[in-house]
Chain A
Amino acid sequence: MKSLRFSFLVLMSGSLIFLAGCSKDDPKPENIPEAITKATFTFTPATGSPVVVTATDSDGEGPNPRVLSGPIALTKNVTYTLTITMINELAATTAPEYNVTDEVEEEAAEHLFFFAWTNNTFSNPAGNGNIDARADLVNYNDKDANNLPLGLSTAWTTINATGSGKFRVVLKHQPELKSATSTASDGESDLDVEFDLTVN
C-alpha cells in the first residue's frame, strides 16, 4: 500500500516536472501612463523666491500612503501665480507619459482643476473656492479650446493679515461632461490633495 502510494506520487510528480520543464519568459513591463506619483505646486510671487510644496506617492494605487510636504507658507498681501506640474515616475523619464502636465494640457477640454480653502486666507479670490459651488470665484489664468478654464495656472492674493487654514486641489477628468457649470462632483478624480496653509 505504501509503495503503491509512493510510486503513484513519483509518477505524478514526474509528469509534472516534464510538463513544467519549459520555463516562462519574463513578461514585458508596461508603461504606466496614468498614475501621478508626484505633483508639485509652485506659488510664484512677482518678486522673491517661490513657495513650493509637493505631494508624492511612489507606488500609485499601492498600499503606501502619500506624503505631503508643507505647509504652504505664504506672505500676507502678496499676489502669487500658482502653477501645478505632475509627473509619473512609474514611466521612463524619456517616455511621453512621464510628464502628466503635458497630457492634461493636451486634453484641456476634458480636465478642470477645482480649489477650496478655509478661513478666508485670500483677499482675491475671496470666499472658500469652487469645490462646493462651481460659480464661486477662482482666478484661472488659462483656458481650453472651448474658452473654459483649466487651472494649471491660477492667480492668488493673500489677505493683509496673518492666518492659517487648509488648501485643497482637485483635478477632475470630465470627458463629455466639462461645461461652464460642471462641478467638482462630475467626472472622476485624477488628483485630490489637501495641504495646510499659513499666511504670515
Chain B
Amino acid sequence: MRLAFLLLIFMPLAGWAQTCTFSVSGKVEDERGMPLVGATIQLIKDKKGTISDETGKFQLAQLCAGKYEVEIRYVGYQTITTSLKVPFNKPWTITMQSDSTSLNEVVIEDKHTNLAVTSTYSSLSGKLLEETMGKSLGESMREIPGVNTIQTGPAIFKPVIHGVHSQRVLILNNGIRQEGQNWGVEHAPEVDQFIASNIIVIKDAAAIKYGADALGGVVLVNPAKLPTEAGVGGQLHTIFASNNGSGVISGFLEGGSKKWPGFGWRAQATIKKAGDSRAANYVLSNTGFEEQNFSLSTAYHTEKSGIDIFYSHFNTSIGILRGTAVATAEDLAIALERDVPQYTTAFTYDIKQPRQSVQHDLVKINAHLEKGKNEFRLQYGLQSNRRTEYDFRLGALTEIPALGFQLYTHTLDAEWERTHSSRWQSSWGINALYQTNSKVDGTQTIPFIPNFDHITMGLFVVEKISLQQWMLELGLRYDVKKYDVAGFDFKNKLYRSSIDFQNASGTVSVKRKITNTSTFTSSLSSAWRPPNMAELYSIGTHQSAASIEYGLLLNEITSEVKPYAKSGVNVEKAFKWVVGYKLERPRFTTEITGYMNYIFDFIYLKPRGVTQSLRGIFPYFRYTQTDASFMGIDFFSNYKINSFWTLTGKASYLRATDETQNDYLVFIPANRVDLGVRYESNPEKKWSWSAESKLRWVANQSRAPQVITPRQIIDAQAQGIDIVAQRPGNFDFKAAPGGYALISLSVGATWKLKSSKCEIRLSTDNLTNQSFREYTNRLRYFADDVGRNITLGLHYSF
C-alpha cells in the first residue's frame, strides 16, 4: 500500500502522446494585479475552456497550432475577447477591467496564501465584499455559502464553518495565524474587515500547510497587493446606519515610487462608533461598540523576489447587553421570563459594564525568492493581544477588569516550493509558533485560564500532480506541541503543569474536470487539535450566561487541578470528507458542497448540574468529550437572466449529532435559504445604478436538545432534587426560537469620472422590522435580535 502510494507521488509524469500537444498557461488578474479566482477562459469555436484556479492561473492544454478566438469572463468584470496564436510560449497575463459598479478589487499578493488547487473553497470578494463594508469580519462572512456565525449580540460574530467554530476555524490574517483568546464564544476575531480585499474560506482541511487544527476550515483574509508603479491612489468609505446610530469612516492612501520601481506603500485607517442597537420593539441597552484601527504596509518587489512589511493595530471596545449580566440561577430564571430585558433604558452611545476591550497588534515581515524551478518563502509574525473584560462588581472593582490577559505570539513559517514540471509540484515547509499568555495583574479574581507558554513545531509536505483531467493532491503533516502552565485553582492555590502533544495529519484530494465548465472535487482529510487552555483549566464565570465553567482537568470533588497524563483527556481528532461540484457557465454558476465531518473526542461545554455558593445556586457546565458528527450540504447558484437581471440562491443544510449520547448538540446553526434578485444598468455609462432585493429564510432548529429551564432547576433544587443530574444528555435553558424570514433591499448609484469613482448606496435590512431571535445568537435567551436598519454608504476611490 505504502509502495503504491510512493509510486503515485514519484512516478515520472512525462509523455502522453497526442496530436495536438501545445499548451498555453497564464494568469488572470484585475487592474491592480490581483488574481481572479474562477474566471472562465473559453475558446469560442472549440467549445473548449478552463477556469482560473485559486491563484488566478490557468492552463489550456492539448491545443493544436493555429489561431483561436478566446473569451475571458468573470462576474463583475468586463468580458474580454481576444485572439491567441498557438504556439504561444510566454506566460500570458490577462488583465480584466472591473465593470463600473465594483470599486477596484484588490489583491492577494502574499504567495503564502496560495491555495491547494484541489480544495473546496468559497470566496467573498469584489462587489459582494464591498457591500458588506461596515460590518464586522464575522458578520460579512455570512455571505459565504456554508459559513454561519455564533453571535453574542449585535457586535460580536464568530465564523462557524460546517457547524464548528472558535479554535476549530483557523483565521489567517494577511498570511499569519490570528492568535487571540479565541477559546471564548464571545471573543470575535480581531481583524479590521476593511483590510480585506478578499476573504476565502477553505472548507476541507486540505489547507494542511496552515496547521493541523483547522477541523472546520480555514479563513484567509487577504489585503490588496501594494502598488509597484509610481502614482498615488486611495479610497474613502463612509457608512451610516440608522439602527444603532453608527458611523464608520475608513480609507487608505497608497502609492509607488518613480525612483525605485517595485517599491510600494499603503496607509489605512478605520474608525467606527455605534450606539445601542434596537430590536423591533425596544432598545438593546449597552450594545454599542467602537473601533479604531490602522495599518501600514510597504513592499519592494522585483520580478523574482520581494519583501513585505506590514503593521496593523486593532482596538475595540464592545458593550454587552446589560440584561445578560445575571449572577445566579434565580437571576437567570427571572431574566429568561422577562419580555423586555432588565435595565432597558433610552438609546445611548455610552458603553458600560459588561463590556470588553481588545487591542491587537500585528507585525509581519515576509520575503520570497524565485530561483529556477524553486521558490522560497519566509515569514515572521509577532502578535500582541490584550483583552480585558469588565463586569458589574462590588464598588470600585467595577472599573477593574474582571478578566484580563496579555498574549504574545511569534510565528515563523518557511516554505520551499518546487515545480518539477507543469504536472508536478511539491512543497515542503515548517511552521513554528511560540506563545506566552499572562494574566493582567490586579483583576482581583481567580484568572479564568492560567498563564502559559505554548510552543508548536510543524512540518509539512504537499505534492500536487495533474494528470489530464485529473488533479491529485497529497499532504502530510507532523506537529509537536508543548504547553507549560501555571494557574490558580478555586482555593486560589497555585498549580503548575506541563503537557506534550504530537500527532500526524494528512489529506488526499482529487479534482476532476468533467467538462470545460464543470469540476468535481473530493477530499478526505484528517486533523487534530489538543484541548485549549479554557477547555483544560477554565474555572468560574466569564461573560457568559450565569454559568460556571469547569475545565476538563478540574476535579469536581476536591476542586483541585488534575495532571493531564492520568486524566483520560484526549486530543480532538477529525476525519472530514468533502465533495464538491462546480459549474461555471457564462450565465449560470452553481456550486454544491457536501461534507461529513466525524470528530472523535469532540470537546464541548456540557451542562452537568447545579452548584451552590453563598450567592445562590448556579448551573454549572463542564467541558466534556464526546464523538460528534457534522453532515451537511452547501449550495450556491447564480443565474444571469440577461445583461441586467441576475438571480442568486444559496442554501445550507446541517445535521449535527452527538454520537456517543445519541443526542443533539446546542448552538448548531439552523438550515437556511437565501434568495436574491439583482438589477444592474449598463456599467459602461458615466452614470450607472443597481438595485437588489434579498430574502433570508431561516428554519427553526428542530435538532435541539431537551429544555430544562432555570426555574425548573430551582424548583427541583428546593425539593432536594438535582434535575440536571437526573435528566442526562445535553440540554438548553430555553427552547430554540422559531424560524424567521427577513427581507432586505438596496439601491446604489455610481458616477464614473476619468480616473476616480463615486458611489452611493442605500440599503435596508430587516425591512419589515420583524422581531425574531437567531438560535446561534447567545442573546436569544434575553432579547430579540436587531430590528430594521437603514444604511447609507458613500464611497470614493481614485
- Measured between beta carbons, the chain A residues less than 8 angstroms from B447 are 27, 30
Which listed residue (B439, B487, B491) contacts A62, Cβ 8 A?
B491
Residues of B within 8 A of A193 (CB): 614
- Measured CB to CB, the nearest residue on chain B to A103 is B394
Q: Given the complex of chains A and B, what is the CA–CA distance between A114 and B100 in angstroms? A: 67
Nearest chain B CB to A19 CB, angstrom units: 5
**Total A-B residue contacts, Cβ distance less than 8 Å:** 156
Would B453 and A188 count as touching, CB distance under 8 A?
no
**Does A20 belong to the interface (CB within 8 Å)?**
yes
CA distance A169 to B160 in the complex (A): 44
A24 touches B480 (CB 8 A): no
Interface residues on A, range: 35 or more
Tell me whether B453 and A58 are in contact (CB under 8 A): no
Say yes or no: is A16 at the interface (Cβ < 8 Å to chain B).
Answer: yes
**In whole Å, how far is B146's beta carbon from the nearest beta carbon of chain A?**
35
Task: Flag if B614 contacts A63 (CB, 8 Å).
Answer: no
Given A173-B392, A188-B331, CB of A57 within 8 Å of CB of B614: yes
> A34 and B490: CB pair below 8 A?
no
How far, in whole Å, are A37 and B442 apart by their CA atoms in the complex? Answer: 20
Q: Do the beta carbons of A33 and B620 come within 8 Å of each other?
A: no
CA distance A148 to B326 in the complex (A): 24
In chain B, positions 681-712 with a C-beta closer than 8 Å to chain A are: none
Which residues of chain A have C-beta atoms less than 8 A from B647's C-beta? none
One of A13, A33, A66, A185 near B397 (C-beta < 8 A)? A33
Given A12-B480, A61-B539, A61-B541, the answer on whether A30 and B443 have CB atoms closer than 8 Å is yes
Interface size on B, residues (CB 8 A): 66
Which residue of chain A lies nearest to B556 when distances are taken between CB atoms in the complex? A63
Interface string of A58-84 (1 = CB under 8 A from B): 111111111000000000000000000
Query: What 1/0 flags go to A83-110 for Cβ under 8 Å of B?
Result: 0001000100000010000010011001
**CB-CB nearest in chain B for A63:** B556
Bound together, the chains give a CA A20 to CA B433 distance in angstroms of 12
Instruction: State the majority secondary structure of interface residues on A.
Output: loop
Query: A27, A106, A189: which contacts B330 (Cβ < 8 A)?
Result: A189
Please measure, in the bound complex, the distance between the C-alpha atom of A19 and the C-alpha atom of B456, giving whole angstroms.
10
Asked if B459 contacts A30 (CB within 8 A), the reply is: no
B89 interface residue (CB < 8 Å to A): no
Q: Is the CB of B614 within 8 A of A192?
A: yes
A30 engages B445 (CB within 8 Å): yes
* Nearest Cβ on chain A to B442's Cβ, whole angstroms: 7
Residue A159 interfacial (CB < 8 Å): no
Q: Please tell me if the beta carbons of B444 and A34 are within 8 angstroms of each other in the complex.
A: yes
Let me know if B446 is at the binding interface, CB within 8 A: yes
Supposing A66-B613, A193-B614 touch, asked if A97 and B492 sit within 8 A by C-beta, the answer is: no
Chain A residues lying within 8 Å of B451, measured Cβ to Cβ, are: 24, 27
Question: Is A34 within 8 A of B616, CB to CB?
Answer: no
Is B540 part of the binding interface, using a Cβ–Cβ cutoff of 8 Å? yes
Give bound CA distance, A110 to B489, whole Å: 30
Chain B neighbourhood of A59, CB < 8 A: 490-491, 559
**Candidates A27, A33, A63, A186; contact of B611 at CB < 8 Å:** A63
Choose among A20, A31, A38 the residue with the greatest number of B CB atoms under 10 Å from its CB: A20
Is A28 interfacial (CB-CB < 8 Å)?
Answer: yes
Query: Is A63 a contact partner of B444 (Cβ separation < 8 A)?
Result: no
User: What residues on A are CB-neighbors of B459 within 8 Å?
Assistant: 8, 12
Contacts of A90 in B (CB 8 A): 491-492
| In the complex with contacts A19-B455, A26-B494, A30-B445, A189-B616 CB distance below 8 A | yes
Contact among A15, A27, A191 with B615 in the assembled complex (CB-CB below 8 Å): A191
Q: Is B445 touching A32 in the complex (CB atoms < 8 A)? A: yes
B635 within 8 A of A: no
> CA of A53 to CA of B471 in the docked complex: distance in angstroms?
77
A192 and B618: CB pair below 8 A? no
Residues of the B chain whose Cβ atoms lie less than 8 Å from the Cβ of A196? none
8 A Cβ contacts from B137-167 to A: none
Q: Given A12-B457, A34-B445, do A189 and B615 touch, yes or no (CB 8 Å)? A: yes
**In the bound complex, CA of A173 to CA of B455 (Å):** 43
On chain B, the residues within 8 Å of A66 by CB distance are 612-614
Q: A16-B457, A33-B394, A189-B328 are in contact. Are A65 and B612 (CB under 8 A)?
A: yes
Chain B CB within 8 A of A144 CB? no
* Binary per-residue interface labels of chain B (102-116) against chain A in the complex, 1 for a CB within 8 Å, 0 otherwise: 000000000000000
CA distance A63 to B538 in the complex (A): 13
Distance (whole angstroms) from the CB of A109 to the closest CB of chain B: 11
Interface mask (B427-465 → A, CB under 8 Å = 1, otherwise 0): 000001010101101111111001111010101000000
A-B contact pairs, 19 of them (CB 8 A): A12-B480, A13-B480, A16-B482, A26-B486, A27-B486, A30-B442, A33-B397, A60-B613, A61-B618, A62-B491, A62-B611, A65-B611, A110-B395, A173-B392, A188-B328, A188-B392, A189-B616, A191-B616, A193-B614
Interface of A with B (CB < 8 Å)?
A: 8, 12-13, 15-16, 19-20, 23-24, 26-39, 55-66, 86, 90, 97, 103, 106-107, 110, 170, 173, 175, 177, 185-186, 188-193
3 nearest A-B pairs in the assembled complex, by CB-CB distance: A62-B490, A192-B616, A188-B327
**A-binding residues in B (CB < 8 A):** 325-328, 330-331, 334, 342-343, 392-395, 397-398, 432, 434, 436, 438-439, 441-447, 450-453, 455, 457, 459, 478, 480, 482, 484, 486-492, 494, 496, 502, 539-541, 548, 550, 554, 556-557, 559, 611-618, 620
Known: A36-B615, A192-B328. 18 other contacts (CB 8 A): A15-B457, A24-B484, A26-B494, A27-B487, A29-B494, A30-B445, A31-B444, A57-B613, A57-B614, A61-B539, A63-B554, A90-B492, A106-B395, A173-B392, A175-B392, A185-B334, A188-B331, A191-B614
